[in-house]
Amino acid sequence: MSQRLFKNLSTIIRSFVMSTVSELKEQSGAKLFASFIGGSKIAKNTHSYKMIEVATMILLRQGFGVIHGGFAGGAMLAVNDMANLVIAEQNLASEVNIAVPQLQFDHLPRVSGAVFTDSARDIFDRLRAILSGDIIIVSPSGALGTNLELSAAIHENVYCQYFKQSAKPKPIIFLQATRGTDWKKLLITKSEILGLKRDLSSYDWLYFIYSKDDLNNLLVSLKNNLLAESF
């Protein structure tokens, strides 16, 4: 296969995955979507797991849809199962629960009830699809995969803030648990190690949330602002 043909096929696949996400959003009836990123090893019945469930419940009851990775473990399972409960409770379209798998991991068990996109070709296609929400929710715990997703989201926001006038940075909301990842400390440390001129945790589109009430109030405010901007 020639290099040009391979490049063209990659472009087609990327467009197809992204258009599938867009189609599912349109079919969902939800005006806004939240992208969920987080660890696949978060255990059930832990404080971190319950925080993800509560966040998902609040989001769907406020009219958001959710986008997640779709595999049966950790944050993805917590988001999916709670989304299914709220969908049944409020008779919502199943497309408000969108899952984005990846070809290399298709042998892994998937969650039940979510509407899946076609499998992304690689991690970069999957990143684009998962991070295509209007806001990004970072689970209380995460490892390498979560850090990759978070780094991509922050980099895109910084680029939008300084160089791209047509797009605004997306709100990134960190769910903070006592025994989870200290995301703010992690960002401060990363800034120091990389010698950045600005502390990554200082951007005004980052939110660090410690309670259900704080999350609910923040989402009401963000929802109103985002919907106003869309008109």
Q: What gap in Å lies between CA 199 and CA 31, rounded to an integer?
A: 33
| Domain boundary assignment for the chain | 3-230
**Statement: residue 6 has pLDDT above 70:** no
**Statement: residue 99 has pLDDT above 70:** yes
Q: Which strand ranges, in their side-by-side order, compose the sheet holding 206-209?
A: 115-116, 97-99, 64-68, 32-37, 135-138, 172-175, 206-209
Between β-strands 32-37 and 135-138, what pairing exists: parallel, antiparallel or unpaired?
parallel
Q: Please tell me the predicted confidence (pLDDT) of residue 13.
A: 41
Contact 40, 74 (CB under 8 A): yes
Q: Give the mean pLDDT of the chain.
A: 90
Is 149 exposed, middle or buried (CB count within 10 Å of its CB: 0-12, 13-18, 19+)? Answer: buried
At the topology level, CATH places domain 3-230 in Rossmann fold (3.40.50)
The tens digit of pLDDT for each residue in 163-179 reads 876 788 999 999 998 87
Q: Please tell me the predicted confidence (pLDDT) of residue 162.
A: 86
Contact 111, 93 (CB under 8 A): no
At 5, list the tokens. Answer: 């043909």
The tens digit of pLDDT for each residue in 11-53 reads 444 444 445 898 999 999 999 999 999 999 999 999 999 999 9
Contact 83, 66 (CB under 8 A): yes
**Cβ-proximal residues to 207 (8 Å cutoff; 6+ apart), any chain:** 171, 172, 173, 174, 218
The tens digit of pLDDT for each residue in 107-147 reads 999 999 999 998 999 999 999 999 999 999 999 999 999 99
Q: Please tell me the predicted confidence (pLDDT) of residue 231.
A: 66
* Residue that the structure tokens 């009219």 belong to: 63
Alpha helical stretches, state H, 195-230: 212-230
pLDDT, greater one: 2 or 153: 153
Closest CA to 69 of 23, 104, 27: 104
